[in-house]
Structure 1
């Protein structure tokens, strides 16, 4: 039994509290800015207590009814685009990775491992190397400014395929033999045995991939020119004019930033138990 040390316990809590403050203070400052007028936000020093314009600022952000420069796309629409994009990418990556890992582990076909390593090698290619050829293909197919163009190029995942393959290799062969003796086909074995066993891994991957899809910026920046197809992360940048004398409505921008944080935070909070279990389960 490890003896508890009072000094180390206090030191640990102090470090944790300081870490929380460092992470939380910018979020608090963003929230405070979203409750003031633009003039109050840009004054020095900016108020550190919430103001009285919270409802007005969030209404202006959600509806797009504001007077500043930059994009006036409604944040409600941008969050809808981001939600569709994040869900499509997360579900698509999981579905494709499950099936590809299942095929690699449980089927015997020529060059099986060569195909696996071909998938795995794509991890070594930076996004910047692949993004221009991908853009050319999407453009030629007429998928610019569309949900298909935003999601389909991003739904393949070598990382998820590798993780599922490693998990399937730990599943006892006796389960597959028992399923075969009971007359279950490959897809029945996949649906009734492998999917339930991989539920925690799938939940952890869903959280990671949802946040990955929600936070996409570079790819939407390239293929979206229509305000109605801006995801919210891109929309925050487009709300700030890059030239001229147009005023930036920082209060509305900060309200948009707060709104953009809510869905990922909600997903992590609701799936925290599954997420942690999927990462630390000793059977993985």
Structure 2
């Protein structure tokens, strides 16, 4: 029986509200800053109420970008980030599903050795192997391309491990029943494993999409063409100024708000499946 303690409930809610306010206050500041003109930031006092320049700031950033900082229009940067994030996410899920399926349901020599070889790559993030990876991408002629942005990042030992652990919880009776019904490996994978893996796929989709969307170092290294600038790269360029110039913070904050919208929308639309995929233990 749960005791009803009004003071305890009040304290818990105050702590939760304080935590939410602490997290959301910078977001609020970014939204407010994107609605003011550039002169507001030269006064030394950050405004806390909305301004009247929101439409103009977002229109300018969306259509023209920030030319003096070498930033293309926001729509192009958002499109580049979206293509890269989706390619990385779908590629990771596809390869990880097939890898886990092969490791669990096929008997071949050194099966566990290859699994642990994949798992050990967790200790080799892209930053560690960035020079040889860049050399390979350059030799293949994939600089300044969406293939170069996404292909080197699509392998995922984490997703392979999680799918393997999930597949191992599926009763052997399902596999035997599929064999009796004449289902081959691909039919078993498509008709049984994939439907059972929907919540896991959704949870990993959200995580991998945000991972791909937030990439900065790799796109910065392999792209020199402004047509392949991602939104994270563009924001960094807009905040970097030379001499006594000050960034156009109102436009920078407009770009920040637009950059935050796609990951937020993905989380909102897939929230139910995301939470279920992280917390569900019995299938």
Q: Within 5 Å, which residues of 2 pair with 1:232-243? A: 232-243=231-242
Aligned alpha-carbon RMSD (Å): 1.2
Q: What is the CA-CA distance between 1:66 and the residue it aligns to?
A: 4.8
**Residue 11 in 1 paired to residue 11 in 2?**
yes
Tell me the TM-score normalized by structure 2.
Answer: 0.97
Tell me: CA distance 1:66–1:87, structure 2 relative to 1, closer, same or farther (3 Å).
closer
1:280 is aligned to: 279
Q: What is the CA-CA distance between 1:184 and the residue it aligns to?
A: 0.5
Segments of structure 1 that go 5 or more residues without pairing to the other structure are none
Q: What is the CA-CA distance between 1:9 and the residue it aligns to?
A: 0.3
Q: Within 5 Å, which residues of 2 pair with 1:56-75? A: 56-64=56-64, 66=66, 69-75=68-74
Q: What is the CA-CA distance between 1:38 and the residue it aligns to?
A: 1.0
1:220 is aligned to: 219
- DSSP-derived class of the 1:26 partner: helix
Distance in structure 2 (CA, Å) of the matches to 1:202 and 1:47: 42
1:27 is aligned to: 27
CA deviations over 1:108-165 (Å, ceiling 9, x no partner) = 1111111000000001123321111111111111111100000000000000000000
Segments of structure 2 that go 5 or more residues without pairing to the other structure are none
CA contact (8 A) 2:216 2:233 kept: yes
Distance in structure 2 (CA, Å) of the matches to 1:278 and 1:72: 38
Tell me the TM-score normalized by structure 1.
Answer: 0.97
**Residue 92 in 1 paired to residue 91 in 2?**
yes
Distance in structure 2 (CA, Å) of the matches to 1:60 and 1:43: 23
CA contact (8 A) 2:92 2:156 kept: yes
Q: Within 5 Å, which residues of 2 pair with 1:174-189? A: 174-189=173-188
- DSSP-derived class of the 1:114 partner: helix
CA contact (8 A) 1:94 1:202 kept: yes
Q: Runs ≥4 in structure 1, deviation > 4 angstroms?
A: none
CA contact (8 A) 2:66 2:238 kept: no
- DSSP-derived class of the 2:143 partner: coil
Distance in structure 1 (CA, Å) of the matches to 2:42 and 2:111: 60
